[in-house]
Amino acid sequence: MIDDVFQPVKMKLSELIKHRDNFLSSLTTKRKETVGTYERALREFVQFFPQDGKFFFRVQDVERYRKHLAQAKKMQDASIATYMTSLRRLCQYLVDIEVLEKNPATRVYGSARPKQHNRTFLTLEEVDILLNSIDRSNSAGLRDVAIIRLMLGCACSEIELTSLDVGDLEQQGKSTFLLMQGKGKSIKDERVQVPHDTALAIQDYLKSRTTTDVNGVEHPPALDSPMLLSYSNRSQGGRITIRGLREAILLRLKSSGVQKGRTGRLTPFSLRHTAGILMVEAGATVEELMTRMRIAWRPTAMLYFKQKGKLHSNDNVDSRALVSLEKTVKRKKSAKRSESASQR
């Protein structure tokens, strides 16, 4: 528990329920599943509130609720983290509408935080082996190359990839961008720059889906169609699912040989971890990493800095093209030049 000055705020159960309902109604940009999770988690808090009888929105009150989840409800760390996140969001809503002065739940962790990622990463040599092992003579192969490069170049998560549409790819001058729908969101409000090689991989895949009518006129995929299609027998031509995406990339990891001896630890999400380490080694700041990887919690971003140097990407100029960090590198060199000039 962290000592802090929090003025006690008394609230009737009826008032709490009203605030809870208004909070859930305000989540218009969140996915339906996310709202449902918050609603289920806050149901436990609403039950605890009158039983406790002395919850006045102080740090010690939140800590007491956390102990209730762990000891009385016997929840695992992952569940406690979810329930505490829901309470933290509710308290922040109460701060925003000026019912609370400060958010006491930000002072109490949901559960023990990991000190390192459970999944491992790919070496630069393994990235080359993986990409070179894929047959690009068919749409499925071109799609998987695009997926791998998106996870490496844009640090895309599985859910972000499955929600992409063809029209989310935007060209502005020489730069390419993607509109992303982040975790827990119902709208696409993240704009991510796409590395050159990743943009080419996407374009090659979309070109393979171009059809020609009887008059010889070519028709590219519609802008509102899914960017990544399924090629399984069950859902041929439909939007790829998270499960389908995971199975496709796991198959590539296995068939290329890079997964040997690391089954369960080397997964599709390992590509995102690889991207994070590449960005750190190229000189990205914590804030830049959080923005580029859509990470909301700073300690999560710091896990990548603990692995800095493991890829030795500074010895490989081509590795910077994977995540398009030329600007970061140039900025660092410019800063060093400025520092040298000031010393002179």
Instruction: Give me the residue spans of the domains in the chain.
Output: 13-107, 124-334
> To the nearest whole percent, how much of the chain has pLDDT over 90?
61
Q: The pTM is what? A: 0.66
**175: which DSSP letter?**
E
Please give the helix or strand (H or E) that residue 14 lies within, else none.
Answer: helix 13-25
Residue 167 has pLDDT above 50, yes or no: yes
Strands 175-180 and 190-194: antiparallel
pLDDT value of residue 31: 78
Give residue 239's region: left, alpha or beta (phi > 0; psi -120 to 50): beta
| Intrachain domains 13-107 and 124-334 with the same fold | no
Mean pLDDT across 61-76 = 94
Query: Is the model more confident about 233 or about 83?
Result: 83
Per-residue pLDDT tens digits for 223-248: 999 999 999 888 888 999 999 999 99
Mean pLDDT for all residues in the chain: 86
pLDDT value of residue 183: 66
**294: which DSSP letter?**
T
Superfamily of domain 13-107: Tyrosine recombinase, N-terminal domain (1.10.150.130)
Per-residue pLDDT tens digits for 146-166: 999 999 999 999 989 999 999
pLDDT value of residue 233: 85
Residue 329 has pLDDT above 60, yes or no: no
Residue 334 has pLDDT above 80, yes or no: no
Measured over the CA atoms of residue 103, residue 50, residue 74 and residue 264, the dihedral's sign is negative
Residue 163: which of 256, 291, 294, 40 has the closest Cα? 294
- For the CA atoms of the chain, what is the radius of gyration? 24
> To the nearest whole percent, how much of the chain has pLDDT over 70?
86
Per-residue pLDDT tens digits for 172-225: 888 999 998 766 676 787 888 899 999 999 999 999 999 999 999 999 999 999
Superfamily of domain 124-334: Intergrase catalytic core (1.10.443.10)
